[in-house]
Every structure is written in C-alpha cells, then in structure tokens.
Amino acid sequence: MLSISNLKKSFQLTGEIFLPVVSIEDFVLEKKQMVAIHGTSGSGKTTFLHLIAGLLTPDEGSIQLQGVDLQELKESRRDFLRATSIGYIFQSFHLLQSCTALENLLIAMSFAGQVNVDGAKEMLDRVGLKDRMNHKPGEMSVGQQQRVALARALINKPTLLLADEPTGNLDAGNAESSLNLMKELCISSGASMLVVSHDSNVINSFDHQINWVELNQVSKGEPCK
C-alpha cells in the first residue's frame, strides 16, 4: 500500500551546509495495517509524515502510494491524491477556526471533488458531534476538536491515515478514547494508519511498533556539505 525506498531529506542551514533529517532505506506499510513509530521530539518524524503526504519533496528516493510514485506526479495531481487518499491528523488539529465543524469537513470534501452534506453530518454523528456540527473550533473542547480533526481526516475515505502526535494535546482519558475511535474508524473504512508519537502509551496500544532511531539512518543531526 505504502512503499518507501532510499528516502532522503535534508534542510539547508547556511550556504552549502545541510542538515540531514530523514534517511530511510526501506519502509512498507501494508493495506489496513496500523503502525506506530516511536521517537523523541524533533528527530524528523513529522518531516517523514510530510514527505509521505507530499507536503515536502524528498532529496532522493521514492514514495509509492498504491503503486503510484508521488515524485512522478505533477504537483496538482499530488495535491489531489492527498485530498482523496491521505487523511492527516495533526497534534494541534489544524482546524479552520473561522469555519464550523461541518464546514471543516465540507471544505476537505470539496478539494476531493465531491461534497456530500449528509455524509459529513453522518461522519460527525459517528464521532459523537451531532449536536456540535455548527459550532466553530473555538466553541469546542480540546477533545471535541480532536474528533472534528479525525472526522475531517477520514471524510474522503482515504486509504492512508497519517497521525502526528494525535493525542499530544489530550488528557489520558480523552487520549485513550480518541485512539480507540481512530482505530475503529480506520478498521471500518479499511484504511491503513501510520502514527508517530513520543508517548509510550500511544505506541503500546499498537501491535506494530517501529523505533524511529532504527528506521531513520540519519546520524544525530550533524550538518554535512
């Protein structure tokens, strides 16, 4: 489903000095598989997810999603693929503050080319926000915002759900229920899930766990020319 090989990404510091952040020889995520990557903050996990989502372009290597090499796609096709096939949950949710919960979902649907108001309402109902769909994020609790983010990430029935510290802003109780809901929705929609986190509670709730330090070949943040 997701196949990565020889992936490299570095960022320019000054002049010709570059900081390597990601270097992954081989990574595969099967269909419907749920994998958690464990690593410390600032070690490049978010960059890795951004590369998979096509938000960043790698320096080298290939990322294949459902057999399609992202680097071979034009940017506009990559954007459309992101809208239709990838759901992304951020630690700080990244909801559109000026829009209601329902509008947040509809906007995500519009970029995938199909808007279904009833479908969006049904999804919000599934995450327990039937009565809050016309509220803006600022009018909701953190746990409710997280559920809007989850609903938005899954509204276009993606094949891959990426979650970056998905429970980072939640208390223990909310974190557990949120993770369970995320898994449940992924199972029912048949999506694969890739979670990155530094929280051992999150990591331990997954059968498949990967240590980021073992996956990422970058030696500890030393700049190179």
Partner 1 sequence: MQMIRPGLGIIFFLALRGLQKHAFSSFLAILTIAMAVGLFLSTWKINDDTRLAFHHSAGGFDAVLGARGSKLQIILNSLFHLESSPGNLSWEQYEIIQNTKGVKEAYPIAVGDNYLGYRLVGTDPELLTSHQWKPGQGYEVEEGGRVFSPLAKEAVVGSLVAQKVGLQVGDQFHPYHGLNFKEENKHQDIYVVVGILEATGTPADRVIWVPIKGIQLMDGHDKSMSHSLSAVLLSLKGAAGFSLDMKYNRQGNVATLAWPVASTLSSFFDKFTWFQKILELVAGMIAVVGTLIIVLTLRSSMNERRREFAILRCLGASRQSVSTVIISQSLILACLGVMAGFFVHFLIHIFVSHIIQENTGVLMSGFSVGFMGVYVFCAVLFVGLASGILPARQVYKADLSENLKHHT
Q: Which of 13, 17, 28, 117 binds partner 1 (CB under 8 A)?
A: 117
Q: Report, in angstroms and rounded to the nearest whole number, the Rg of the chain calculated over CA atoms.
A: 18
**DSSP 3-state assignment of 135?**
coil
Query: Could you give the CA distance from residue 222 to residue 155 in angstroms, rounded to a whole number?
Result: 40
Kindly indicate which of the ranges 99-107, 170-178, 191-199, 208-216 contains the residues binding partner 1, using the contact rule CB under 8 A: 99-107
Of 82 and 205, the one with the shorter C-beta distance to partner 1 is: 82
Q: Does 115 bind partner 1 (CB under 8 A)?
A: yes
Q: How far is the CB of 207 from partner 1 (least distance, A)?
A: 28
Q: Does 73 bind partner 1 (CB under 8 A)?
A: no
**Which long-range contacts does 116-125 make (Cβ < 8 Å, 24+ apart)?**
119/155, 120/151, 120/155, 123/151, 123/154, 123/155, 124/148, 124/151
CB atoms within 10 A of CB 58: 21
Q: Does 76 bind partner 1 (CB under 8 A)?
A: yes
Q: Does 75 bind partner 1 (CB under 8 A)?
A: yes
Q: How far is the CB of 49 from partner 1 (least distance, A)?
A: 10
Query: Could you give the CA distance from residue 109 to residue 105 in angstroms, rounded to a whole number?
Result: 6
Chain residues that interact with partner 1, rule: CB under 8 A: 46-47, 50, 53, 55-56, 75-76, 79-80, 82-84, 88, 90-92, 94-99, 102-103, 106-115, 117, 152
